């Protein structure tokens, strides 16, 4: 059983489909709907994912598109930079890509964000398609049109909003992920339950055994549910003027920890730590009961995600890094709290002291 979720703009017009499959077999048919017979395609990927799937996909598309090229860059967040973007611009110019041509982002969040930003800015914008291969990218970063690269160690400091023309995911690729990479995706998935859907949160709690066994049918339901939650949020608020900020639950402290740890921890792991700290903060503000905050910590821990702030990071360094992060709004920090499980809220009343306390509570 495959699934299709359509993302709409604020006028309720369809803008792109999220297609959830268990192979790459239908990718070509989906791309044909976008008129690839007249287009040059560039599969953009990195050195871990590329060798696994890039040639297979290129072979599928070879006779269906005008040309198919592969651009591969070295794996890792440290390569999500303007330098890599410039290498990709060079490659596109060399192969004479014009405004009607298209990029395919094959990989995790790093590839999707970087390819999307390149597509947003090459010739003032060309089309791109997301083919997310990490669980994190499938449920989160491939949807919603946020693109960007890191700059001077600031995550996504440079970017643009640019919607993909299609998100195509092949769930069978999840079997090749390491346990840590795979489980990291649940940092964002559990977050979706926390901010928007208490039933989903409890389902995730119950389905842990099937998830650990990588049961693709259970995963398909989970991924589709997360895609629906993300879709609804970005449809309501494409450019993060309001509700979309809820998706940053766990990210304010999480990003700071990720940066201070030099990206040694995976993104979803940092989100888990940040979410547990935020839950503690919500408890202090009487928005969550002690029991609820404990349940949140237990679910992240059940998914083998860290819930403690790394001992080597000082609380004040984390808060300073947070204040330098971009989730500031005219000098005031926007912090996402939960008013009960399933109900994310935006708070502008979180002080530095609140954050310091929450961090110390998660040691």
Token pair 């890094």: residue: 321
Active site residue 72: no
| 192 is known as an active-site residue | no
Q: Is residue 290 involved in binding a second copy (CB under 8 A)?
A: no
Specify the length of the chain in residues.
Answer: 363
Residue (of 296, 287, 304) closest to 340 by Cα position: 287
Task: Find the helix or strand (DSSP H, E) in which 170 lies.
Answer: strand 166-170
Q: Does residue 90 interact with a second copy by CB under 8 A?
A: yes
Q: Catalytic: which of 188, 258, 269, 292?
A: 188
Instruction: Identify the residue among 70, 82, 208, 361 touching a second copy (CB under 8 A).
Output: 82
Q: For residue 34, state whether it binds a second copy (rule: CB under 8 A).
A: no
Segment interacting with a second copy, rule: CB under 8 A, options 270-278, 313-321, 329-337, 345-353? 329-337
194 closest CA partner among 52, 359, 61, 336: 336
Query: By the 8 A CB rule, do 274 and 250 touch?
Result: yes
Beta bridge partners of 148: 159
Pick the catalytic residue from 22, 192, 267, 280. Answer: 267
SS3 351: coil
Residues 6+ apart with CB under 8 A from 305: 183, 184, 186, 187, 190, 268, 269, 272
The answer to whether residue 16 forms part of the interface with a second copy (CB under 8 A) is no
Our answer to whether residue 248 is catalytic in this structure is: yes
Contacts of 264 (CB under 8 A, 6+ apart): none
162 included as an active-site residue = no
Is 75 or 154 the residue whose CB approaches a second copy more closely? 154
Q: How far apart are CA 44 and CA 116, in angstroms?
A: 10
When asked if residue 198 is in the footprint of a second copy (CB under 8 A), the reply is: no
To the query of whether residue 188 is one of the catalytic residues in this protein, the response is: yes
Near a second copy by CB under 8 A: residue from 13, 63, 152, 175: 152
Binding site for a second copy (CB under 8 A): 38-39, 82, 86, 89-90, 93, 96, 98-100, 117, 120-125, 146-148, 151-152, 154, 156-161, 239, 324, 326, 328-331
Q: Show which residues are catalytic.
A: 124, 146, 188, 230, 240, 244, 248, 251, 255, 267
């Amino acid at each position: 059983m495959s699934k299709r979720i359509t993302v709409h703009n604020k006028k309720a017009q369809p803008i792109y489909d999220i297609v959830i499959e268990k192979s790459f077999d239908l990718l070509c048919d989906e791309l044909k709907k976008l008129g690839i017979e007249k287009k040059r395609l560039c599969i953009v990927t990195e050195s871990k994912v590329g060798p696994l799937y890039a040639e297979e996909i290129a072979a599928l598309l070879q006779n269906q598109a005008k040309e198919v090229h592969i651009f591969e860059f070295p794996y890792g967040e440290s390569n999500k930079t303007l330098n890599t973007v410039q290498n990709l611009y060079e490659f596109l110019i060399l192969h004479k890509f014009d405004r009607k041509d298209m990029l395919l982002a094959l990989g995790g969040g790093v590839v999707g964000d970087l390819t999307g930003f390149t597509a947003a800015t090459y010739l003032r914008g060309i089309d791109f398609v997301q083919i997310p291969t990490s669980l994190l990218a499938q449920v989160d970063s491939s949807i919603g049109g946020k693109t960007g690269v890191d700059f001077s160690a600031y995550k996504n400091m440079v970017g643009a909003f640019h919607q993909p023309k299609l998100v195509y995911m092949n769930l069978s690729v999840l079997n090749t992920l390491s346990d840590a990479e795979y489980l990291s995706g649940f940092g964002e998935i559990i977050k979706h339950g926390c901010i928007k859907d208490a039933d989903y949160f409890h389902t995730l709690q119950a389905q842990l055994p099937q998830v650990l066994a990588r049961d693709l049918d259970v995963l398909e339901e989970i991924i589709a549910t997360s895609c629906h939650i993300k879709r609804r949020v970005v449809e309501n608020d494409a450019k993060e003027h309001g509700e979309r900020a809820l998706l940053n639950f766990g990210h304010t402290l999480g990003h700071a920890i990720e940066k201070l740890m030099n990206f040694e921890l995976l993104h979803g792991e940092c989100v888990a730590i940040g979410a547990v700290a935020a839950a503690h903060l919500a408890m202090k503000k009487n928005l969550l009961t002690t029991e609820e905050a404990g349940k949140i910590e237990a679910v992240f821990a059940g998914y083998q995600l860290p819930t403690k702030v790394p001992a080597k990071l000082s609380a004040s360094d984390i808060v300073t890094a947070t204040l330098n992060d971009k989730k500031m709004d005219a000098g005031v920090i926007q912090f996402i709290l939960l008013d009960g499980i399933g109900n994310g809220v935006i708070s502008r009343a979180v002080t530095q002291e609140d954050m310091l306390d929450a961090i110390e509570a998660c040691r």
